[in-house]
Amino acid sequence: MRDPRTRLMLLAVLFTLLAWPLVVHAAARVTVPVGWLESGDAAPEAQRRASRWKDELGLRLAQVVSAPDNDRFAETIAVFERPEPVADKAFASESAALEALSAAVVNVVGSDPPEASGLRTTDAGVQVAWAQWQVEDLIYEGVLAPSGDSASIVIMTMLARDVDYHRNRLDGVIASLDGVTAPMPRFSLTWWRIGAPLVWLGLALALHAAMLRFVDQDHDHTQAGTRASVINLGLVALGTLITYFGLGDRELALVHAGSSLGGLTMWIAVSGIIVVGLHFLIAARYDRGVVQSAPASGIYSRTDMIRASVSSRSGVRPRPDNLAETSDVWAVPRDTLPDPGSSTQYAVHPGKQDER
């Protein structure tokens, strides 16, 4: 632990672990207009108003910006963070985005429909939902902005008579929102968990059929299954790597769906290995190849085994000369066969000849 490099590495890891939640859950921020004040320097009236909105919304107050406290009304901009992400279906249409925004700010602006609304595009090229309400002599403008695995809600208020004066300034605040991302895409975790084993099973069957058709002309399922399993195991490893790097940009959607990138990748790898193992074991039980044995003297062919089985059941022993003519392994030279008229009898054994 005395090595400076080791200490720096540990500090970097510790900082990453502590800062990661802040990075992931950070709300969007507005750019403070020229001459306006932020946070503790904001007008006391704006701070009280933002605190009241915080209680009404039940959300975390992330930023307060106000006009200088030199007028009877302090224009206020407040940014709140909602822990739930904005689903991509919320921005599928302007009406869906307006509905999501209205539901988020209803406790502040009321349930009346807005006077104006639409989808705005920020300088970063992402869309946010915007709407404007008038409540008595005040104008409220609300913005719903996706920010990673959370959502940012911006509420701006001013006197109705001053809205035209502040129009360009407020439009600049909306366009310069920082930390805004695209909506959270939907991730079907069930489809991946069911589809991965089915894909590996389909590959196993296809490879097995290909081995029987194009490689093993004897239709030996053991050899075909072994070859197909080896190839499929390599495809499992390759597919796992492709999944890990291919889904890297959807890790937040995975976490929101109740899993993680590492967990889903492990599921895909393990399901593939299980399919490969079962394929290998099942194929080994369906061998149609040449039956072989290993006695001390050689290998029996299938013809010899059938002949031996028929002889044992019928009680008829094959003649030595017929054995010599038909057997493709135990060919006995004719000059060693006994004379049929001789009284000497021989018993032919695989490794020796004994005289009785």
| Per-residue pLDDT tens digits for 246-262 | 887 677 667 666 678 88
Give the separation between CA 179 and CA 147, rounded to whole angstroms: 6
What tokens does 281 get? 């074991």
Give the separation between CA 190 and CA 345, rounded to whole angstroms: 78
Q: Residue 39: name the closest of 12, 70, 15, 66 by CA.
A: 66
| Interval 116-138: pLDDT, tens | 999 999 998 888 999 999 998 99
Predicted local confidence at residue 84, as pLDDT: 80
| Interval 83-118: pLDDT, tens | 888 877 888 888 989 999 999 999 999 999 999 999
Residue 290: is its pLDDT beyond 70?
no
Residue 310: is its pLDDT beyond 90?
no
Predicted local confidence at residue 108, as pLDDT: 93
| Interval 206-232: pLDDT, tens | 888 888 877 666 667 788 888 888 898
Alpha-carbon radius of gyration of the chain: 40
Q: Residue 283: name the closest of 235, 236, 216 by CA.
A: 216
Give the separation between CA 21 and CA 330, rounded to whole angstroms: 79
Give the separation between CA 263 and CA 194, rounded to whole angstroms: 14
Give the separation between CA 99 and CA 113, rounded to whole angstroms: 10
Cβ count within 10 A of residue 343: 6
Predicted local confidence at residue 180, as pLDDT: 86
Predicted local confidence at residue 265, as pLDDT: 87
Residue 13: is its pLDDT beyond 90?
no
CA 343 to chain centre: 84
* Averaged pLDDT for residues 303-312: 51
Give the C-alpha distances (Å, rounded to integers) separating 66 from 28, 30, 137, 168, 315: 17, 12, 18, 16, 111
What residue type is 252 in one-letter code?
Answer: L
Give the separation between CA 80 and CA 25, rounded to whole angstroms: 12
Residue 156: is its pLDDT beyond 90?
yes
| Interval 269-287: pLDDT, tens | 998 899 988 988 888 776 5
